[in-house]
């Protein structure tokens, strides 16, 4: 069964991170939709480009919805901070609730209005152990990965252009390379090579990051399954955590992405990472059945 055929969608963005939201919470139980497969997600992205597709299913337990997240290459994502802000904005406007909770593949995610059109997402606690990120083999300290050890080689011998990255999981795997200038590298070329490196069995989000001051980080990200993006909320969170672990910054920072700024706090009380930023409505649309004709949509 093709789930998206004849379904309405809302197109939004979080700092330029293109998000499509499909709400299946109120579908007749007799026609309860299943999960979307990779070919269907790719067909939807070919019609209405997105970085992430957020699909809302009926809630299980005391939440506002269950959510599945799809990248534009058809793969599933465990987390998408910018997408969660977009979903929270829509559901808050519909229900009048300022605080919401959603079930995602990465666990329960709380969101709330921060006023002035901003929403905060509790991205949960970061994970640092090598098998939680995951990496292909044991690494004692994920704050600084040994490039020689993991076989990453970019640049001439003795003068690599990228050095010892940090690795963090924010519900999805992130690798952060600390550089002086995030624009001085061809991330469109380097990103895919690193995303698919054998050291990262579930692939990885690849970020170039610079910390010019104790409360400011600048990043560019090659997003796993989506490519070069104007904004990646979970990468902003991962970079903030990695910077604090290395002593480059404190636990509250502004992260500048190509699409704009996010406020990130790695809360000391419970280690949860809070991300606050804007959302923008673009338009509504509909996935006509003809888009999925080759997949058997009626």
Peptide bond into 134 cis (omega under 30): yes
Nearest C-alpha neighbor of 239 from the set 146, 177, 191, 291: 177
Marked catalytic residue, from 86, 111, 232, 237: 232
* Per-residue tokens: 99: 């605080």
Tokens 């197109």 belong to 11
Q: What are phi and psi of 255, to 5 degrees?
A: -105, 120
Q: Is 86 a catalytic residue?
A: no
Give the up-direction half-sphere exposure of residue 132: CA atoms within 13 A in the CB hemisphere.
14
CA distance 118 to 261: 12
Marked catalytic residue, from 80, 86, 111, 237: 80
CB neighbours of 225 closer than 8 A, spacing ≥ 6?
A: 71, 72, 73, 74, 75, 77, 203
Give the up-direction half-sphere exposure of residue 95: CA atoms within 13 A in the CB hemisphere.
16
Give the number of other Cβ atoms within 10 Å of residue 180's Cβ.
7
CB neighbours of 184 closer than 8 A, spacing ≥ 6?
A: none
* Per-residue tokens: 288: 């006509």
Q: Is 237 a catalytic residue?
A: no
Q: What residues act catalytically?
A: 80, 232
């Amino acid at each position: 069964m093709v789930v998206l055929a004849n379904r309405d969608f809302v197109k939004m963005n979080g700092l330029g991170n293109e998000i499509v939201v499909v709400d299946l919470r109120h579908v007749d139980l007799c026609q309860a939709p299943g999960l979307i497969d990779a070919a269907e997600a790719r067909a939807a992205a070919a019609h209405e480009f997105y970085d992430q597709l957020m699909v809302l299913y009926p809630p299980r337990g005391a939440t506002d919805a269950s959510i599945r997240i799809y990248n534009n290459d058809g793969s599933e994502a465990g987390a998408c901070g910018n997408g969660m802000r977009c979903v929270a904005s829509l559901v808050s406007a519909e229900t009048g609730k300022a605080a919401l909770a959603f079930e995602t593949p990465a666990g329960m995610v709380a969101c709330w209005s921060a006023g002035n059109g901003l929403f905060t997402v509790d991205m949960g606690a970061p994970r640092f152990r090598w098998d939680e990120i995951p990496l292909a083999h044991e690494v004692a300290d994920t704050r600084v990965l040994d490039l020689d050890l993991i076989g990453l080689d970019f640049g001439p011998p003795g003068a690599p252009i990228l050095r010892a990255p940090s690795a963090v999981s924010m519900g999805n795997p992130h690798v952060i390379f600390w550089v002086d200038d995030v624009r001085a590298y061809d991330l469109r070329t380097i990103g895919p090579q690193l995303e698919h490196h054998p050291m990262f069995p579930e692939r990885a989000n690849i970020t170039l990051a610079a910390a010019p001051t104790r409360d400011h980080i600048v990043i560019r990200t090659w997003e796993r399954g989506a490519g070069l993006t104007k904004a990646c909320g979970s990468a902003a969170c991962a970079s903030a955590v990695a910077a604090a672990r290395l002593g480059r910054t404190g636990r509250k920072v502004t992260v500048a992405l190509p699409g704009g700024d996010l406020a990130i706090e790695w809360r000391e009380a419970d280690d949860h990472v809070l991300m606050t930023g804007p959302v923008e409505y673009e338009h509504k649309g509909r996935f006509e059945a003809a888009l999925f004709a080759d997949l058997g949509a009626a």
